[in-house]
Amino acid sequence: MQTNKLLVPAVAAGLGILLAAPAVVFPLFLIQLLCLALFASALNLVLGYAGLLSLGHAAFFGGSAYVTAHAAKAWGLPFELAVLLGVAFATLLGLAFGALGIRRHGIYFAMVTLALAQMIYFLAVQMPFTGGEDGIQAVPRGKLLGLVDLSDTTTMYYVVLVIVVAALILVWRVVHSPFGHVLAAIRENEARAVSLGLNVERCKLIAFVISAALSGLAGSLKVIAFQLASLNNVSWHLSGEVVLMTLIGGVGTFFGPIVGAAFLVSLEHFLATSGLPIAAIIGAIFMACVMVFRRGFVGEFLHRRKD
Amino acid sequence: MTDSRERRLELKGLHSWYGESHVLHGTTLHVNRGEVVTILGRNGAGKTTTMRTIMGIVRKRKGEARLDGHDLIATPPHKVAGLGLGYVPEERGIFSSLNVAENLTLPPVVKSGGMGLDDIYELFPNLEGRDKTVGTRLSGGEQQMLAMARILRTGADFILLDEPTEGLAPVIVDEIAKALVKLKALGLTIILVEQNLKFATASADRHYVMDQGQVVDEFTNERLVSDMARINAHLGV
Amino acid sequence: MPDIFGMPVAVLLGQVLLGLINGSFYALLSLGLAIIFGMLNVINFAHGAFYMFGAFVTWMVMSWLGLSYWPALVVVPIVVGAFGAAIERLFLKRLYQVDHLYSLLFTFGLALVMEGLFRHVFGSAGKPYPVPQELTGVLKLGFMFLPVYRGWVIIAALLVCVATWLVIEKTRLGAYLRAATENPSLVQAFGINVPLMLTITYGFCVGLAGFAGVLAAPIYQVSPGMGSNLIIIVFAVVVIGGMGSIGGAILTGLSLGVIEGLTKTFYPSASSIVIFIVMVIVLMLRPAGLFGREA
């Protein structure tokens, strides 16, 4: 209960900070942070709540980014439609990946998703519309509902903020719905869930597809804001990073992925100009986290409060 | 009750845990050289756990456990066999990726005086000529014989035998009972966990009864046979 | 010579042979992954990084110590294997008690660190490594000219794979390994030092990856990214083959190399994804993999 008492003021303070932030921080940096926070929260839905480690989530994020970029640039679709198309693509891709992989447990699932995502990566390298190494550049931002011009980055930021907060509320609702409780039951004891007559595979698949759709949304928003779809968005490095964000923030906690994304995005931002090997530092954080900090920031916080 | 023969195994106030669950609650018992001692009790009383704790398979443990004066608690699990302890687990532990010959020769020889293959085939004729058969293709009784045979080959002189007759046909149980008598005659020290009282009383010297992780009663074989009512009360038959 | 599907048989055979070279690397790496997984229940994501490490150490001992190819072929796998054994002792060992996902994530981090450090120090560009003098030149096979070195790679990889398979299936040490894969605590109770065996197994398999790295150095450019490009394909190979069988891992690796080679001939633009397509098909028809035992 104590946690709940804290929750409302904490969330209110967080939102307040996000609303005021563009005055002091680059809006693009904030957009990056928001998109990755949504991405990590989406991953957490499968990793933390359904107990599935996906090492291929970049395929949804990046796949959706490419589709949105192409729709906005080559077909001239408006912002909303381009984003929706990207999300639809990610959803279908999630359905395909999930249907193929869901029957394999634990680490097998991780390998299957990783390999499938790599296939998407190679397609992105080769397909004519993706632009190979160059990616899709100068993606137009367009207007929201034909009214609000998004070319101003601060405006773009507030639009992204609204959409991301709405998506996070959706995640919250999913986790706290009866469906979310079924997921928790499956994660706790899969055999028992099966014996209770739950269709475990279908539940996992639904969670996976929702997660893929939200990852796609994150990717689409980012590509519109940054006006660039590139191979980085579909690479296995990104799939790994988003797992790290979730892990370091706290797997299976609602706020963990958001905190983790904020931490990692800020760290990368800070390191970008330092001349240090970023990938190696991220890898080292990964190793340290796995060895001694498996609960993550938020998980550790909640654990201490419970004591 | 205690006789003057040489103590081999001594457990005093032994506790052990599987993860968070506390299974042995201060088990105390002893076994002398050349004795066959059974541990009786209901399911979940801690009989198998006692064996697994002695072998060091259950690592989380406290209290005193000595074999021939060696502190078992301080012995790393892979050094326990070297003290002469041989373990025949309840599930028999025959390896499906090994054939019969490989299963038989898997445990390293720990002491001289172990049985040769000829002795083993004399004791368990069923195993002869089956070398290339996949271990788990043997019948349940044959798997039990193989599990015992591979330990006898190593020269272990203190055998932990967990429910050797479980699920076996009466003919096979008789064969294993005969083998047990022979092993006793060879001077081996044996702890036997057993549900089948007829089998248990055929070769045992003494019996311990366990309940809720503790030894709650002790009988000589003669007493047990003459006072079945008391043991039945323990076992809830 | 006649044609098959409009391709001269000679060209086809040539592609098969070239495919076997890639397949040799797949086999060496997936073999190690399969053994590590069987014994330690660890998906060793860093396997590709160890392969890259092997290639780099080969290049370093040549550039810095003047050590030629042949001694490197012996020394490098030992160095890489010892490094792997140290990683197992210091870190992985502590993760056996927790969810297996953590050891996968740990090795993922390790791969990032290794790749990142090498990129930082040596840059992304490849370093050339000369083909050893004894193995220069080409073999005239009638249907193609095969560089001697590439033939050597196939033979060496096959020999090492078959030797490893024999050790595991036919020797006493192999029996310990197989038994410990099934029931480590019982094997330990028989008096075998299982933790030590795990360390040695991990070290050995990582050494195999290092060996593959030495073989690769004269063929491919020695570069920091060479491992991660390969390892994900090898994961697909492992999913296709299933984790149950050592022999299966070798066979799957080789045949997928050949399939990839043939795809290069008939439909070049699909050659980088053909293995993943095979994986998708296998997952649909036989989710446990071709040789897998997991239900």
pLDDT tens, B136-195? 999 999 999 999 999 999 999 999 999 998 888 888 898 888 889 888 988 899 999 988
pLDDT score at C124: 86
**Short-list A190, A230, A306, A181, CA closest to A58:** A230
In our burial notation (b when 16+ CB lie closer than 10 A, e otherwise), range A100-120 reads bbbbbebbbbbbbbbbbbbbb
Inspect the interface and report whether the beta carbons of A283 and C273 lie closer than 8 Å: no
Inspect the interface and report whether the beta carbons of C191 and B98 lie closer than 8 Å: no
- Average pLDDT of the residues in C172-185: 91
Contacts 24+ apart (CB under 8 A), A189-196: A190/A51
**Short-list B16, B11, B13, B26, CA closest to B72:** B11
Domain range annotation of chain B: 35-53+79-235
pLDDT score at B2: 47
Inspect the interface and report whether the beta carbons of C191 and B96 lie closer than 8 Å: no
Q: What is the CATH superfamily name and number for domain B35-53+79-235?
A: P-loop containing nucleotide triphosphate hydrolases (3.40.50.300)
- Sign of the CA dihedral A291, A294, A298, A300? negative
**Which residues from chain B sit within 8 angstroms of residue C194, using beta carbons?**
78
pLDDT score at C1: 53
Task: For chain A, count helices (H), then strands (E).
Answer: 13, 4
**Which residues from chain A sit within 8 angstroms of residue C115, using beta carbons?**
279-280, 283
Question: To the nearest whole angstrom, how far is the Cα of A220 from the nearest Cα of chain C?
Answer: 25
- Average pLDDT of the residues in B2-9: 72
Average pLDDT, chain C: 89
Inspect the interface and report whether the beta carbons of A283 and C110 lie closer than 8 Å: yes
Residues whose CB is less than 8 angstroms from the CB of residue B146 and which lie 6 or more positions away in sequence, other chains included: B92, B94, B100, B103, B104, B124, B127, B135, B138
Question: To the nearest whole angstrom, how far is the Cα of A37 from the nearest Cα of chain C?
Answer: 20
Distance CA C106, CA C91 (A): 9
pLDDT score at A13: 81
C209 neighbors C29 (Cβ within 8 angstroms) = yes
Report yes or no: B116 at the C interface, CB cutoff 8 Å: no
Instruction: Nearest chain C residue to B90 by CA: give it.
Output: C186
Residues whose CB is less than 8 angstroms from the CB of residue A290 and which lie 6 or more positions away in sequence, other chains included: A247, C95, C102, C103, C105, C106, C109
Inspect the interface and report whether the beta carbons of C183 and B93 lie closer than 8 Å: yes
Inspect the interface and report whether the beta carbons of C188 and B96 lie closer than 8 Å: no
Instruction: Give residue ranges of A with CB < 8 Å to any C CB.
Output: 53, 55, 100-101, 103-108, 110-112, 114-116, 118-119, 122-123, 125-126, 236-237, 240, 243-244, 247, 276-287, 289-291, 294
Question: To the nearest whole angstrom, how far is the Cα of C137 from the nearest Cα of chain A?
Answer: 34
Q: Which of A103, A236, A287 sits opposite C109 (nearest CB)?
A: A287
| H/E element, A194 | helix A190-195
Number of domains in chain C: 1
- The SS3 call for residue B158 is strand
| pLDDT bucket at C3, cuts 50 / 70 / 90 | low
Report yes or no: C194 at the B interface, CB cutoff 8 Å: yes
pLDDT score at C6: 67
- The SS3 call for residue B151 is helix
pLDDT score at C53: 96
pLDDT tens, C17-61? 888 999 999 999 999 998 998 888 888 999 999 999 999 999 999
CATH number for the domain including C184? 1.10.3470
pLDDT tens, C226-270? 998 888 889 888 888 887 778 888 999 999 999 998 888 888 878
pLDDT score at A39: 95
Report residues of chain A scoring pLDDT below 70: 1-4, 146, 307
pLDDT score at C160: 95
Instruction: Nearest chain C residue to A242 by CA: give it.
Output: C105
Domain range annotation of chain A: 25-235
What single letter denotes the amino acid at residue B9?
L
pLDDT score at A1: 42
- Residue B79, pLDDT > 50, answer yes
**Which residues from chain C sit within 8 angstroms of residue B106, using beta carbons?**
175-176, 179, 187, 190
Q: Is residue C295 part of a domain?
A: no
- Residue B233, pLDDT > 90, answer no
pLDDT tens, B91-140? 999 999 999 999 999 999 998 888 889 999 999 998 998 989 999 999 99
**Which residues from chain C sit within 8 angstroms of residue B93, using beta carbons?**
183, 186
